[in-house]
Structures are given as C-alpha cells and as structure tokens.
Structure 1
C-alpha cells in the first residue's frame, strides 16, 4: 500500500532525515577541529575518515548479501551503485574537505545546501518528475532563510580574501555532485533496498578515497598526532556511518526531493555547533535564517498529499 505524505511512515521519514542531517553536519566541525589543532592535509584526513568507516560498511554489506531475501545486483545496478557512491562520498567529500581549508564550517553548510534546489531541478529535467506546489513553497521559505544567513557571512569589502571564493566554489561543486548522489540514490534505493544500497555505495566510496590516498597521499596514516585519530574516528562514526544509514532510510520513506529539503536543517545545525565548538560568530540574521528553514521543514513534515 502506498504511503501518503500525512502517514506516520512519512512523518517518521522526516524525523529520520532530520537526525541524519544533524549527524552529517558534525562532519564539518570535526574537519575544522582537525585543521585547527593539527597540520593534517585534506586527502589524509579524508582517507582516515573512510578507513575507520569501511569495516562497518563491509560487515553490513556482507550481512545483507547473506539474507535469504537477497537478490543479486544486475550489472547495471552494480555500475549504478558504484557510480552514485563514488559521486556522493568520494568526489563530493574530497571537494568538501578541500573547500573547508578556506571557509568557515557555517559557510560551508550554507553553500553546500543549494543542493535541494539542484535535486528538484535534476529530478524534473532527467526524470520528468513534477515539482509539487507545497515543495516550491517549502523551497522558497527555506532558501529565504539560507539567503539571509548567507548575506551575514559574506565579506563585501574590497580587501576580501580571495581564498574565500575558491573555497565557496569548491563547496558549490560539492553540492552539484552530492545532488547527483541524492537523485541517483532515490532511483536505486527502492529497487535494491536502503541498507544494502548504502553499504555497497559507501564501500565503493571508501575504496575510491583509499586508492586516491595511495596514489597521491603525501602523509603516512601512521604516527600522526592522537587528536587526528580521535577527530577522524568521531567523524567516521557520528558524521559518516550513522547518518549515512539514516539518510538512506529517510530517502526510502519520503523520496529524494523531500529528503533534500528536510536536510536543509544541516546549515543551521552546523552554525550552532561551530559557535559552540569552534567559537565561530553567530548573528541575529543567522538565527532568523534558522527559523525560516525550520518553517520550511515543518511544512514538508505536516503537508498532506
């Protein structure tokens, strides 16, 4: 039986999606802490994140493949899962880690979260999926909040730091690749299953990151400062493994377009965490943006079909 947007199943998907987005938002905090407290580079830090995450995904993939109800992937599905996984958590993550070298954690989230618009547009263009009126309204409210918060962060002076724009561009490219991941996963998850998809997609992504590190890494993963391992492990568990499963379950329940809009809580979550853990400033405009984003998310959660 199809689940309507007003059903507990759908509302549960909204809550799961919110939890996943908040957990994911901790990733930028751990990255900035590692950059602040150590001399670690982006590629090595990303490799450690995936190295700590990989065992969980391999075990989960093995368990899923041994279930009596398991259906083998077709060649097309293998290619799809691998491509989507590499886009979402190898290419996107690499661009994200590089961009975070130049901009604040709060700004990173604000730029990254143009992706819900990209998801809806990609779904409409590639899959002829109609954008509902309530989704447009939720997007307008949500992005009004993001715009308000963004304006308060931009340095409009003539003596601005050009690295800021380099970082913002890298994060924008990350948003594009992550939007492709959301759209692709939204098509694959109903076919192959949320847990199985996530386990294999993340395994492919981890392999891509580790191969990149082996070819281009300039720092050994051994004999690093203890703080690097601590931040990497926390980022792997809290900011990668747990939210990856929450997000895929949320996509299964409410669809990729709605999951993208619900995930817009991420920027405000990061701004608040950055204020607490990184002492990044927080303004009244950022708080006003937070309120509007929450209104947009609540509209998605409460709107009946």
Structure 2
C-alpha cells in the first residue's frame, strides 16, 4: 500500500473516532428526555433509513449472504449496535465521566488481544509501546493529571455495565474483520445497523410511550439526528473501511482519539475547563498513534523499494 494512501486512511480513522466523541455530548442531551434503549433505537432507526438507499446506490454487485453471513451480521447488530449502545447510554445517565472514559478507553487492549487470539493478527513491539503510550495519555486526560484516581476508585455495579460495553465493542470489531473479508464496509455497516435496530425495538417499546416521545425537546431530537447521520452512518463506514485496509488491531489504536474529542467538545459546548493535563494527554495519545503506525509503514515502504530495485 502506498505511503500516501496509508496516511489518508489514518486521517480518516482519526476523524471517524473523533466524531464518536461527540456522542458523549449528544448522548447527555438526549438522555435527559428519553431512556437509554429508546435513544439507541431512534439513533439507529434514523441511520438505517439512510444506509439502505446509500448501499443500493454505491454497491452494484453485493455478494449474496449465506446463513453463516446472516448470523455474523446478526452478531454485529447484537454486540456493536444493540448491547453496546444500551450499555453506553445507561453509563451516560448514571456513571461518572471519569469512570466511563476509563473503561471505554480500554477497548483497544481487548481488541488487540482478541484479534491476536481469533484472527491470528501479529502484534508488533511498536504497536504495544504505542498502545501503552496512548493509554497513558488517555488516563492523563480523563483524570486531569491526577493518576491517583485509579487507586481511589471503588468498584460499583455500573462497572459491570461499562465492562459489558467494552466487551461488546471488542467483539464487534473482531467479528467485523471477518465479515469484511467478503462484504464492503457500507454493506457490513448497513446490515449490522438493521439487525441492531430490530434487537433494540422491543426494549424501546417497553420503556417509552407516545407521551414520552411528544414531550422530548428539540435538542434531544437534534442530538439523536446527529448521532444517526454523523456518528453512525459516516463514521461507522469510515471505521469499517479502515479495519478492512489495515486490520482490527491497528485500527483500534485510533479509538483513543474519542476521549480527546469528547474533552474538547465538553469544554466548548458544556463549559468544562480545558486544562494543561488535557493538552499533555492529547500529546501522549498522538505520539502513541504515530509510534504504532508510522514505524511499521516505514519498514513496509523500505521493503517495497527493495523489491522494485531487485
């Protein structure tokens, strides 16, 4: 793969995962009017309305799914769409921001381990060092430089909810890698979102009513619309394409951009202070991503050059 194209993929992944950070802000607004499963259902119901026409327009020769393919699509919908988002919005409503960010930031570790275990993807030394550096940066950001938060943190029931979110997203990323061997990123995303929306419907039906829907604020509906179009449709397709091109383990490194963007947007839209520790942490994350990607790209580039000269 050409160096220029690789860096475009890296930029795309950074943009996609940074956009996910806005879900923290939009989720906080939406959850004030609706319950978790209801927010998740309308988010993906809006997304699936956009995704199917887009898929039919862009994809001319979609492979016919087998029973195994439908099962994998259903697992994508169950793990990364239905369960993950129920956990995410429950956490948005009940969990402290620091604790939620800590758990979600641990996603790349589990993804890399599962990718190595089930997909036989190799883990390089630079990738491990970059991951550690990025995780340190994330920890610095969400604790505002006070790392003793780790020591003082008590175990609570909400921790199980957050752990469930991390496990679901890791499974979603790894299963997605398998699906992408046959289907494009937009086809995989569309079917995953469709199954996830179906799984979410009965939960939304149980916890909400017509009166609840009509009493929702404009801000809540606008937040759901933002999550449908930008956080789901645009960003999911970009993330899946990145996984298809560079692998689930390496792409997962970019998830560390999510808490950075969440912190920045929180300061802009919620009035939270952007501190020096936040900026230092952002530097660590960017350095970690660079270490885990650029070094390996450089070696691959040298190898290709040697082949051309041979």
Give yes or no for TM over 0.5: yes
Are positions 1:118 and 2:100 aligned together?
Answer: no
Unaligned runs of 5+ in 1: none
CA RMSD of aligned residues (A): 2.6
Residues 230 and 139 (structure 1), Cα distance of their counterparts in 2 relative to 1, 3 Å cut: same
Report runs of 4+ in structure 1 exceeding 6 Å deviation.
157-160
Q: What is the TM-score normalised by the length of structure 1?
A: 0.87
Aligned length: 294
Q: Which residue of 2 aligns with 1:32?
A: 28
Q: Per-residue deviation at 1:24? A: 1.3
Question: What is the SS of the residue equivalent to 1:191?
Answer: coil
Q: Which residue of 1 aligns with 2:307?
A: none
After TM superposition, the structure 1 = structure 2 runs for residues 128-277 of structure 1, keeping only pairs within 5 Å, are 128-152=120-144, 165-214=156-205, 216-220=206-210, 222-223=213-214, 224-277=216-269
Q: Distance in 2 between matches of 1:282 and 1:166?
A: 30
Q: Is the 8 A contact 1:146 1:293 kept in 2?
A: yes
Q: Per-residue deviation at 1:112? A: 0.4
After TM superposition, the structure 1 = structure 2 runs for residues 62-101 of structure 1, keeping only pairs within 5 Å, are 62-63=56-57, 67=60, 69-101=61-93
1:16-49 per-residue CA deviation (whole Å, 9 max, x = no partner) reads 11111011111111011234xx442222222221
Q: Per-residue deviation at 1:283? A: 3.5
Q: What is the TM-score normalised by the length of structure 2?
A: 0.85
Unaligned runs of 5+ in 2: 301-310
Q: Per-residue deviation at 1:183? A: 0.8
Find the partner of 1:23 among 11, 19, 22.
Answer: 19
Q: Per-residue deviation at 1:92? A: 0.4
Residues 156 and 107 (structure 1), Cα distance of their counterparts in 2 relative to 1, 3 Å cut: closer
Q: Distance in 1 between matches of 2:283 and 2:151?
A: 31
Question: What is the SS of the residue equivalent to 2:94?
Answer: coil
Q: Which residue of 1 aligns with 2:271?
A: 279
Q: Distance in 1 between matches of 2:86 and 2:22?
A: 16
Q: Is the 8 A contact 1:50 1:236 kept in 2?
A: yes
Q: Distance in 1 between matches of 2:44 and 2:97?
A: 20
Q: Per-residue deviation at 1:168? A: 4.2
Q: Distance in 2 between matches of 1:41 and 1:207?
A: 17
Q: Distance in 2 between matches of 1:8 and 1:232?
A: 35
Are positions 1:52 and 2:46 aligned together?
Answer: yes
Q: Distance in 2 between matches of 1:261 and 1:80?
A: 24
Q: Is the 8 A contact 2:111 2:170 kept in 1?
A: yes
Q: Distance in 2 between matches of 1:15 and 1:157?
A: 31
Q: Per-residue deviation at 1:129? A: 2.6
Q: Is the 8 A contact 1:95 1:171 kept in 2?
A: yes
Q: Distance in 1 between matches of 2:151 and 2:259?
A: 27
Residues 62 and 285 (structure 1), Cα distance of their counterparts in 2 relative to 1, 3 Å cut: same
Q: Is the 8 A contact 1:60 1:199 kept in 2?
A: no
